[in-house]
A and B are shown apart, each in its own frame.
Chain A
């Protein structure tokens, strides 16, 4: 697992209280991992803090799955 992927998964496990095995690349935050709209905002904020990046709102809207988050951060971090 890449370093970015490890750190993203760890944040999701911590914030959403889910098992690491559930956090697959295709898993949707809202449909599969039980996040509501505020949880999703919090995840984006945690990614920004962890990787010291700023994710604009229009980009954040496109980050729906674990895989979306990892690939966005790999491109922008």
Chain B
């Protein structure tokens, strides 16, 4: 696995950041945000693409694709799959990105509309911007000639990618898939657009406490950027080469809200259906789930709807679960959220520790006080099975379930 996140630039740094309850939020460095309603975000720290890719190549990649290359490379190296001389026709790349190359679009539009009207566009404009290019670049680097595409479902994108990777492998169409997602929308267009939707927290006087899922005073999500990558591999293929196995993916669920473009269904109907579909696909009872990494973006409506859905699906077992929103630390990485949160679930399963929901100050009376949101500190417990939820604008709901691996 590989991770490039606002709280750590490698898988291990990310996991250490999650357990330390580290916030990735800070005033925006990438542009002057002084006129924006929200002036902070969860940006990457101490990251220089030229440490990973030479300048000439990096210039042809939008930041979202740069981040993809960094985490995918970490995952491929970590998996050691290239050392086993694999059949490259049977390794694919199924990536996720909610938006793609927004910075590239912004720069090119600015150059044209700010110019004299001469239509002089950079030939790399389109191949830098399109969301699918991340999968293309990863495949070119390693020669992976199996199925290759990118899923787009807003903030659910990379969970869709993981589920597609899982399905592709169990259909026998590939031995392994590089999956995950990346996003890079901390720029004027991204922040301005989400501000206009009133989706973002405006707690400019305290960025590090702004992402506070399930707190009474939550006021919107904090935009994050980065990438997460996972190598999904067919079990026998992995065992035959003696692969390091972090966990087993056992099921995925998908549903649509069919309700509103940005608001969640108030009773969490779509969220309920996707969790039920994932449990059914994994053939596990609700009582077998130990940990749910929720979508939990820290918006007033979304957090409530998701908890309603959890209580409908899990009944009294909801009180025995650990629930946490790691977005309290990383911010919301949009199309990369599913990837880094699946990684959080897998690490929780491996280490039997649940990362926390930080920034809890005041209980919300609308939330059942008997639920365990893992507030403010990680909790040790046996985590055999964990479920990750991600939901996207458009009413796209996805859940994926991972299980502790035993031979």
Which residues does chain B contribute within 8 Å of A15, judged by CB atoms? 59
Contact A45 B122 (CB under 8 A): yes
Partner of B123, one of A42, A49, A54: A42
Interface CB pairs A-B, < 8 A, 6: A15-B59, A17-B54, A38-B123, A38-B127, A42-B123, A48-B120
Residue of A nearest to B118 (CB): A54
- Contact flag A42-B120 (CB < 8 Å), given A17-B54, A17-B55, A17-B56: no
Which residues does chain A contribute within 8 Å of B52, judged by CB atoms? none
Which residues does chain B contribute within 8 Å of A45, judged by CB atoms? 120-123
B108-151 contacts to A (CB < 8 Å): 118, 120-124, 127
Which residues does chain B contribute within 8 Å of A38, judged by CB atoms? 123-124, 127
A15, B121: Cα distance in complex, Å: 15
Count of residues in A whose CB is under 8 Å from the partner chain: 10
A49, B124: Cα distance in complex, Å: 16
Residue of B nearest to A18 (CB): B56
A20-77 contacts to B (CB < 8 Å): 38, 41-42, 45, 48-49, 54
A38-B123, A41-B123, A45-B122 known, 9 other contacts, Cβ within 8 Å: A15-B59, A16-B56, A17-B55, A17-B56, A17-B59, A38-B124, A38-B127, A45-B121, A54-B118
Residue of B nearest to A42 (CB): B123
Contact B54 A42 (CB under 8 A): no
In the A-B complex, the 6 residue pairs with the closest CB atoms: A17-B56, A41-B123, A38-B123, A42-B123, A17-B55, A45-B120
Contact B56 A42 (CB under 8 A): no
Which residues does chain B contribute within 8 Å of A48, judged by CB atoms? 120
Question: Interface range on chain B: under 10, 10 to 19, 20 to 34, or 35 or more?
Answer: 10 to 19
Q: Indicate with 1 or 0, residue by residue over B46-61, a CB within 8 angstroms of chain A CB atoms.
A: 0000000011100100
- B residues sitting closer than 8 Å to A (CB atoms) are 54-56, 59, 118, 120-124, 127
Which residues does chain B contribute within 8 Å of A49, judged by CB atoms? 120
Residue of A nearest to B111 (CB): A49
Which residues does chain B contribute within 8 Å of A41, judged by CB atoms? 123
State the Cβ distance, A51 to closest chain B Cβ, in Å.
13
- A residues sitting closer than 8 Å to B (CB atoms) are 15-17, 38, 41-42, 45, 48-49, 54
Q: Which of B59, B121, B123 has the most CB of A within 10 A?
A: B123
A45, B120: Cα distance in complex, Å: 7
Residue of A nearest to B57 (CB): A17
Which residues does chain A contribute within 8 Å of B120, judged by CB atoms? 45, 48-49
State the Cβ distance, A27 to closest chain B Cβ, in Å.
16
A45, B123: Cα distance in complex, Å: 9
A39, B123: Cα distance in complex, Å: 8
State the Cβ distance, B58 to closest chain A Cβ, in Å.
9
A15, B122: Cα distance in complex, Å: 12
Residue of A nearest to B56 (CB): A17
Residue of B nearest to A44 (CB): B123
Contact A42 B55 (CB under 8 A): no
State the Cβ distance, A38 to closest chain B Cβ, in Å.
5
A49, B122: Cα distance in complex, Å: 11
Which residues does chain A contribute within 8 Å of B59, judged by CB atoms? 15, 17
Which residues does chain A contribute within 8 Å of B127, judged by CB atoms? 38
Residue of B nearest to A38 (CB): B123
Residue of A nearest to B54 (CB): A17
State the Cβ distance, A73 to closest chain B Cβ, in Å.
16
A51, B329: Cα distance in complex, Å: 49
Which residues does chain A contribute within 8 Å of B121, judged by CB atoms? 45
Residue of A nearest to B127 (CB): A38
A38, B123: Cα distance in complex, Å: 6
Residue of A nearest to B55 (CB): A17
Residue of A nearest to B58 (CB): A17
A17, B59: Cα distance in complex, Å: 10
State the Cβ distance, B269 to closest chain A Cβ, in Å.
47
A70, B253: Cα distance in complex, Å: 60
State the Cβ distance, A44 to closest chain B Cβ, in Å.
9
A15, B54: Cα distance in complex, Å: 12
State the Cβ distance, B107 to closest chain A Cβ, in Å.
14
State the Cβ distance, B19 to closest chain A Cβ, in Å.
40
A11, B59: Cα distance in complex, Å: 14
Which residues does chain A contribute within 8 Å of B55, judged by CB atoms? 17
State the Cβ distance, A18 to closest chain B Cβ, in Å.
8
A73, B59: Cα distance in complex, Å: 26
State the Cβ distance, A39 to closest chain B Cβ, in Å.
8
State the Cβ distance, A53 to closest chain B Cβ, in Å.
11
Which residues does chain A contribute within 8 Å of B118, judged by CB atoms? 54
A48, B119: Cα distance in complex, Å: 12
